[in-house]
Amino acid sequence: MGTVEPQVASGQDVKVVSSGQIVANAQSQDVTDGFHLVIDALKLNGIDTIFGLPGIPITDFTRIAQAAGMRVISFRHEQNAGNAAAIAGFMTQKPGICLTVSAPGFLNGLTALANATTNCFPMILISGSSEREIVDLQQGDYEEMDQLAIARPLAKAAFRVLNAEDIGVGIARAIRAAVSGRPGGVYLDLPAKLFPQTIDADLGKKSLIKVVDPAPKQIPAPEAVKRALDLLKGAKRPLIILGKGAAYSQADAEIRSFIEKTGVPYLPMSMAKGLLPDTHPQCASAARSFVLPEADVVMLVGARLNWLLSHGKGKTWGGKDHKAWGGQKFLQIDISPQEMDSNVRIDAPVVGDVGSCVSALLAGIGSNWPKPPAEWLGAIAERKNNNIAKLAETLAKNPTPMNFHSALAVVRDIVKANPDACLVNEGANALDFTRSIVDMYKPRKRLDVGTWGVMGIGMGFSVAAAVVSGQPVIAIEGDSAFGFSGMEVETLCRYNLPVCVVIFNNNGVYRGTDVNPTGGPDVAPTVFVKGARYDKLIEAFGGVGVHATTPAELRKAMEEALRSRKPTLINAVIDESAGTESGRITSLNPSAKKK
Q: By CB under 6 A, what part of segment 258-297 binds ligand ADP?
A: 269, 271-272
Residue 501 touching ligand ADP (CB under 6 A)? no
Q: By CB under 6 A, what part of segment 545-584 binds ligand FYN?
A: 582-584
Taking CB under 6 A as the criterion, the residue among 53, 346, 377, 431 binding ligand FYN is 431
Residue 339 touching ligand ADP (CB under 6 A)? yes
If phi > 0 it is left, if psi is from -120 to 50 it is alpha, else beta; for residue 111 that is: alpha
Residue 249 touching ligand ADP (CB under 6 A)? yes
SS3 158: strand
Position 518, amino acid: T
- Residue 122: asked if its preceding bond is cis (omega within 30°), the reply is no
Using the rule CB under 6 A, give the single segment among 19-27, 226-234, 251-259, 286-294 that binds ligand FYN.
286-294
Closest contact distance (angstroms) between CB of 589 and ligand FYN is: 7
Query: Whose CA is closest to 303, among 264, 363, 343, 359?
Result: 343
Q: Which does 249 bind (CB under 5 to 8 A by kind): ligand FYN, ligand ADP, none?
A: ligand ADP
Taking CB under 6 A as the criterion, the residue among 144, 189, 254, 334 binding ligand ADP is 334
Closest contact distance (angstroms) between CB of 283 and ligand FYN is: 8
**Interatomic CA distance for residues 183 and 93, integer angstroms:** 9
Closest contact distance (angstroms) between CB of 582 and ligand FYN is: 4
Burial environment of residue 43 by CB neighbours within 10 A (0 to 12, 13 to 18, 19 or more): middle
Taking CB under 6 A as the criterion, the residue among 178, 286, 354, 465 binding ligand ADP is 354
Query: Whose CA is closest to 549, among 527, 532, 573, 531?
Result: 573
Spatial contact of 581 and 510, defined as CB atoms under 8 Å apart = yes
Residue 70 touching ligand ADP (CB under 6 A)? no
Using the rule CB under 6 A, give the single segment among 257-265, 282-290, 360-368, 568-576 that binds ligand FYN.
282-290
Taking CB under 6 A as the criterion, the residue among 308, 365, 487, 585 binding ligand ADP is 308
Q: How many residues bind ligand FYN (CB under 6 A)?
A: 21
Q: Give whole-number Cα distances, 377 to 27, 143, 550, 564, in Å.
A: 66, 61, 39, 44
Q: Which does 412 bind (CB under 5 to 8 A by kind): ligand ADP, ligand FYN, none?
A: none
- Provide the terminal-to-terminal Cα distance of the chain, rounded to the nearest Å: 60
Residue 88 touching ligand ADP (CB under 6 A)? no
Closest contact distance (angstroms) between CB of 265 and ligand FYN is: 13
Residue 391 touching ligand FYN (CB under 6 A)? yes
The dihedral of CA 291, 294, 296, 300: what is its sign? positive
Residue 526 touching ligand FYN (CB under 6 A)? no
Burial environment of residue 232 by CB neighbours within 10 A (0 to 12, 13 to 18, 19 or more): buried
Query: Whose CA is closest to 351, among 359, 365, 340, 364?
Result: 340
3-state helix, strand, coil in the chain (%, to 5): 45, 15, 40
Element (H, E) at 362: helix 354-365
Taking CB under 6 A as the criterion, the residue among 84, 235, 298, 303 binding ligand ADP is 303
Q: By CB under 6 A, what part of segment 437-466 binds ligand FYN?
A: 449, 453
Using the rule CB under 6 A, give the single segment among 48-56, 84-92, 386-394, 415-423 that binds ligand FYN.
386-394
**Beta carbons within 8 Å of 261's beta carbon, 6+ residues apart:** 362, 365, 369
**Interatomic CA distance for residues 402 and 425, integer angstroms:** 19
Using the rule CB under 6 A, give the single segment among 285-293, 318-326, 340-348, 394-402 that binds ligand FYN.
285-293
Binding site for ligand FYN (CB under 6 A): 270, 285-289, 308, 387-388, 391, 428, 431-432, 435-436, 449, 453, 582-585
Binding site for ligand ADP (CB under 6 A): 119-120, 182-183, 243-245, 248-249, 269, 271-272, 302-304, 306, 308, 334-336, 339, 353-354, 451
